[in-house]
Amino acid sequence: MFTFLDKKFINRFLSIALPIALVSLVNFGVKAVDTLMLGLVGEEYLSGAAQANQLSFMFMVIVGSGVAGGAAVMTAQFWGAGNKKRVREIFAFMFKVVAAVSLLFSAAAIFAPHAIMRILTSDADVIYQGVIYLRIIGVGFMFWGFSNACAGILRSVGVVKIPVFIFSGSLILSAFLNYLLIFGNFGFPEMGIAGAATATLIARIIEFFVLAVYLLKIEKNLAFRIKHLFLRREKVAKVFVKFGLPVVINETFWSSGFFVVNVIIGHIGREFVAANAVAGLVLQLTGIVIFSMCNATAVIVGNTIGEGHYKHAKSMANGMIVISFIVGLACTAIIQAIRIPFVNFYELSEDAHTYAHQLIHILSVSVIFMSVALISMLGTLRGGGDVKFVMITDIIFMWLIGIPLGVFFGLVLGFPVWVVFIILRSDDFFKTIVVLWRVPKGKWLKDLTKT
């Protein structure tokens, strides 16, 4: 089962996972600082930004995990097969899809912020603050989308260090600008939640231009240039529809499901929203390890299949199940260790404080199932081309079980917050059962380079 754990694999895995983890860690740090800053201004500011960011989260999942992730499923295998020309063609096609999605989300954020916020919450103060935030960050969706799409493709072909430096610089800049603009430090205007949104927008624009210059002028291995954006290859479009579109649909349903989950939370109360924002940061901290392993597993499994080493890929998949369980247990220990000081760090109402502790307790258990399910589904199965199965599994357990039961018990019956939260997080438990059945069978392995 663990025959793949040689020095070459470990070095390769860490060379991909560690840079991704570093970017995620910086991102987490900036979000934690932003949340703390807005929390010090007022709970309505914290809740407004948290709810408004559900649209940003949905956008990034669709573009980063969906469009770029679907393209990465193909590029990882074609790169393993040594077909750089096909990788550039996939890259060009992906950019066009990202542009269309970005324009759609920008229009929604700029021209319909009130409608979006009224869906997310019924609290008038939270709606007001969220509208301010949405209108500003909506301008940056195009830049943000292209940056993450570029980074996703570069990771799939083994270029991981440069995006680390660029994203780290961008996120540190965002945190510094937040400090200046939220509170009006060093003579800057005191802008509150508008300052948080403006800081994010400026950082994303700079991030995009730096990454674009590197990709188009400096990077030599992939050698992607502006002329490649105008490539038209019907075969690439057909392959993307078959293997990339299910990933886009998967992430669209998942992110919209997550959006609905936050609608449920938003209509239960402001305190639940604030507690969920704090608990979400704790989950993101441990999720750094999990999602880094997901990305690294997908790239290595895809490259290995593209190289034609099918038996090695299957051995890797089975071994990663055990490793993911151990990682989940480690995340549980981390969450319990930081729970009390982390929650006490924020200025929360008594109810929000109590809810935050309850939610984090629940997350400390559910993270075990999350680790096993995600590393196998988003890493092994998706990297192995089994994208339709992942899509169907995700949609069934979120939309047919978690969300309907969450609405019924939370909004209809009015059950306690912690009960509703368990129900909303139950999909990872069911997905864990499914991957423990699916992965060992080996039928998930599909060589896209032979398509």
Q: 397: how many CB neighbours lie within 10 A of its CB?
A: 21
Positive or negative, the Cα torsion across 281, 287, 289, 295? negative
The pLDDT score that the predictor gives to residue 372 is: 94
pLDDT in tens, 237-247: 777 777 777 88
pLDDT in tens, 51-60: 788 788 788 7
- H runs (alpha helix) in 157-244: 161-183, 193-213, 234-239
SS3 224: coil
Instruction: Return the C-alpha torsion angle 60, 367, 313, 77, nearest 10.
Output: 0
Cα 29 from Cα 381, distance rounded (Å):
30
pLDDT in tens, 318-375: 888 988 999 999 999 988 888 888 788 777 778 888 888 888 888 889 999 999 999 9
Share of the chain above pLDDT 90, in %: 13
- Confidence check: pLDDT of 222 > 80: no
Mean pLDDT, residues 1-17: 71
- Amino acid identity of residue 415, one-letter, is F
pLDDT in tens, 408-439: 887 777 777 778 888 888 888 999 999 999 98
- Amino acid identity of residue 45, one-letter, is Y
Mean pLDDT, residues 236-265: 78
- Amino acid identity of residue 441, one-letter, is K
Contacts of 341 by beta carbon, 8 Å cutoff, 6+ apart: none
- Confidence check: pLDDT of 140 > 80: yes
| Tokens of residue 427, six digits | 């999909």
State the DSSP code for 221: S
The pLDDT score that the predictor gives to residue 32 is: 62
pTM of the entire predicted model: 0.73
SS3 6: coil
Cα 39 from Cα 269, distance rounded (Å):
16
How far is residue 42 CA from its own chain's centroid? 27
Which residue's structure tokens are 């960011």?
A: 53
Number of residues that make up the chain: 451
Cα 320 from Cα 316, distance rounded (Å):
6
State the DSSP code for 229: G
Task: Tell me the backbone φ, ψ of residue 308, rounded to 5 degrees.
Answer: 90, 10
